[in-house]
Structure 1
Amino acid sequence: GVLSGLLGSMMITIARQVGVGFSDLLELEIFLATQSLLGIGLGIAISRQQHLAMNLDHYRRRLEAELQARRELTEKLIHTEEDTRKHLARELHDEIGQNITAIQIQSQLVKRAGDNPQALEAAGQINELARRIHHSTRQLLRQLRPPVLDELSLNEALHHLVNEFAFAERGIECRFDYRLTAPPQSETLVFTLYRLLQELLNNVSKHADASEVSVLLCEQDNQLRLEVKDNGNGISMQQIPGFGIQGMRERVHALGGEFTLESQGGTRVIVNLPTVLQQTHR
C-alpha cells in the first residue's frame, strides 16, 4: 500500500511536468487511488489469509496430537484388558479347577463307600453338576484369554477360532482366506483382529440365520483388511444386542481405522486398520 502510494505520487508529478491536461490528470489520480486501495485491500486479505493458515495449522497439529494420544491410550487399554483377562483366567483355572476336582473326588468316594440309594443318587448328581461347572468354566476361560493367542501364530489362532464355532456341523459353509504374508508386529493389532473376528462370528452364529459365511484377512494399500460376510437376514448395528460390536467399532476408530457395516443381502463387515500404529511400535 505504501509503495503503491509513493509510485502514484511520482507518476502524478511526472505527468504534471510533461503538461498533461487537467481531465487526464484527474483520471490518472483516480486510477492510481483505486489501485492503491486495491493494493491495501489485497495486502489485508493476504495478511488475514496467512493468519488463518497459521491458525488452521495450529489446530491441525493439536488435533493430530489428540488423536495420537487417543490411539496410545487405546493401545494401553487393550493391553490392560488382555493382561486382566489373562490374570483372571489363570485365577479361575487355579481356584475353581482345583475345587471342582476335589468335589468330583469326594462324590466318587461317597458312591464307593455308601450303600444308601439316595446317597448314591445324590453323589451321582453332585458329580454331574461338577462336570458341567468344569465344562462351563473351561468355555469361560477360553473366552477370557484363549491360550492360542500365546501358543500359536495369528494364522493358526484365527483358524482355530473359526473351527471352534463348528459351522460345518450346523450345515453352514464357512470359508476362511488368510492372505497376510507376515503377521502384524503390534500385539495390539493381533489382539484386536482376534477379538474382532470372535465378536463378528459370534453374531453370525447367533443372529444371522445364514447358510454361508466367508472371512478374508489381507493387506491392502498399507492397511490390514478384515472382511466377514454372510448370506443371512442382514442385521444392523441397532439390531445387535449388547455392546460388543459397538465397542469393537469404537476400538477400531481409536486405532485410526475404519469400520463399515452393510446389511443388504446379508451382512458384510469391513474393517481397515493401519499396518503400523504410529509412535507405539509394540
Structure 2
Amino acid sequence: MSGFKKISSAIVAVFIVCFIVFSCSVYFQIRQNINDETSSALNQVQEMLKANMNAGDIKAVAEQSPHLSVTGFTGRLSMPANNHSDNRPIYLPIHENQYLVVRAHDTAELVQNMNLFWLVAALFFTTLSVLLFTLKVAVRQRLKPLNQLGDALQQLVDGKATNNFEDSDIKEVKRVIGQFQRLQYSLQSKERQLVKIDKKLALLQEQERSYLARELHDNVGQLLTTIKAHAYILVNSNEPSMLELSANKVQAMSQQISDAIRHLTAHLHPLVLDRVSLQQSLEKLVFEQELAQPKTEWQVSINLNKFAQEHERDIHIYRFVQEAINNVVKHADASKVWVHISGDKQGLTINIRDNGKGFDGGVIENVGMSSMQSRARCIGATCAVKSPKEGGVRVQLSLSLLDTEDLRQVNVA
C-alpha cells in the first residue's frame, strides 16, 4: 500500500467516525428540540383550555402552530378527556359526542431538520472529497523528490550515479536527499580508492614476480651454472688438485644456493612464525636489522607475553612490522630508530619511529604504505603513518581484541 493510500485511509476513517458521532448527536438533539417545542405547544393549549377559552379560538391558535394538528372526532371517549400527559392528544368538546382533537405534529419539522442535516452531510462529504483530491495532488507533487531518490538508489545498486533531483521545500526531504548525495559521493570515493588499491596490488605482484625472477636468475641460476662446470671437472679430470678445488667450490656454492633459497622462502612466508612465538619472531626480525645497520642506534621494547596468539593474525602483524622497518632502512636515512610493541588480552599497540628525513605533506602513499594499511584492515586494526614537524616518520598500529570479538559475535549471530 502506497503512502498516499495509507494517509487517505486514515483520514477517511477519522472523517467517518466523526460523521457518525456528529450525526447521532445532531439527530438526538433535533428530536429533543422537537419534543420540547411540541410539549410547550400542548401545554399552551392546555392553559387556554383551563382559562375557559372557547373551542373556536383554541382551534385557530392550534392550527397556526407548526407543532400541532387539529382534527375532529365524533363518538364516546374511552378515557377521561383532557388528561394531558406525555404529549398525548387534547380533546376539546364542541357538542355532545363531538370533539376537536389537538395532537402533537412533529413530522413536518423533523423532515425540515433532516433536509438541513442531509445538506450538511453532503457538504461534509464534498469537503472530504476535495480534501482527498488536494492531498493526492500535494503528496504526489511533494513526494516526487522521494520517488526520484528511490530511482537513484536503484541506479546506485546497478552501479550508476545520478544527481537529478528536483528542489523540495520540505526540510526533511531535503535532508534525506543531502545525506544520499553525501553517501553517493563517499561510495564513489571508496570505489576510486579500491581501484587505486587494485592497481597497487597488481604492481606489487609484478614487483614480487620480478624480484623472484631476478633472484633465481642472477643468483641461483648462475650458481647452478658454475656448479655444473665444476661437476664436469670432477667427472673428467684426473688431477687431484683440480678435483679438490672443484669439490670445495661445489660445496661452497651449494651452501650459497641453500642460503638464497632460505632467504627467498622467508621473503615469501615467515617460516619462523611456524616454529616460535610472535614475540620471538619480531625480536629476531629487529635483531637482524640491527646487525645489518650497525651505525643506527636501535631502542627496542617488545612485550607480547600476554598477547593471545593467532597464526593468521600474527602473519599480518609480522608483515606490518617488517614493512615499517624496511621503509626505515631504505628511505629514512635515520641515525636512531624506536621500536615499541606491546600487547595483552585487550589488544596490541605498535609504535615505530625514526629521526630520519621524513617526507613532506604529513602523509605519503605508496605500495608499502598501502600494504601496511591493508594488513591493518585485515585484522580490524587502525593504522596511522605521519611525518611530524620535528622530522622523521611515525608509524602506529592499534588493535582492540574486544572490538574484534564483538564483531565476530555479530557476524556469527
Q: Name the TM-score class by shorter chain.
A: 0.5 to 0.7
Measured after TM superposition, the shift of residue 183 of structure 1 is 1.5
Q: List alignment gaps of at least 5 residues for structure 1.
A: 7-43, 64-91
Q: In the alignment, which residue of structure 1 is the partner of 2:328?
A: 204
Q: Is the 8 A contact 2:278 2:314 kept in 1?
A: yes
Where do 1:5-154 residues align within 5 Å? 107=231, 110=234, 114-115=238-239, 125-154=249-278
SS in 1 for 2:270: coil
For 2:393, which of 243, 261, 267 is the aligned residue?
A: 267
Q: In the alignment, which residue of structure 1 is the partner of 2:315?
A: 191
Measured after TM superposition, the shift of residue 125 of structure 1 is 4.7
Q: In the alignment, which residue of structure 1 is the partner of 2:282?
A: 158
Q: Is the 8 A contact 2:303 2:343 kept in 1?
A: yes
SS in 2 for 1:158: helix
Q: Is the 8 A contact 2:363 2:385 kept in 1?
A: no
Q: In the alignment, which residue of structure 1 is the partner of 2:96?
A: none
Q: Is the 8 A contact 1:223 1:274 kept in 2?
A: yes
Structure with higher Rg: it is: 2
Q: Which amino acid aligns with 1:268?
A: R
Q: In the alignment, which residue of structure 1 is the partner of 2:382?
A: 257
Q: List alignment gaps of at least 5 residues for structure 2.
A: 1-10, 16-168, 188-215
User: How high is the sequence identity, in percent, across the aligned residues?
Assistant: 26
SS in 2 for 1:214: strand
Where do 1:237-256 residues align within 5 Å? 243-254=367-378, 255-256=380-381
CA RMSD of aligned residues (A): 4.9
> CA offsets per residue over residues 212-241 of structure 1, 9 Å max, x none?
111111359x55221101112214799989
Tell which deviates more after alignment, 156-165 or 272-281: 272-281
Q: Is the 8 A contact 1:177 1:217 kept in 2?
A: yes
Q: Is the 8 A contact 1:237 1:246 kept in 2?
A: no
Q: In the alignment, which residue of structure 2 is the partner of 1:70?
A: none
> CA offsets per residue over residues 113-161 of structure 1, 9 Å max, x none?
6318777666655544433222211211222223321221222221111
> How many residues are matched?
205
Distance 1:237 1:215, change over 3 A: farther
Q: Is the 8 A contact 2:233 2:246 kept in 1?
A: no
Q: Which amino acid aligns with 1:260?
A: V
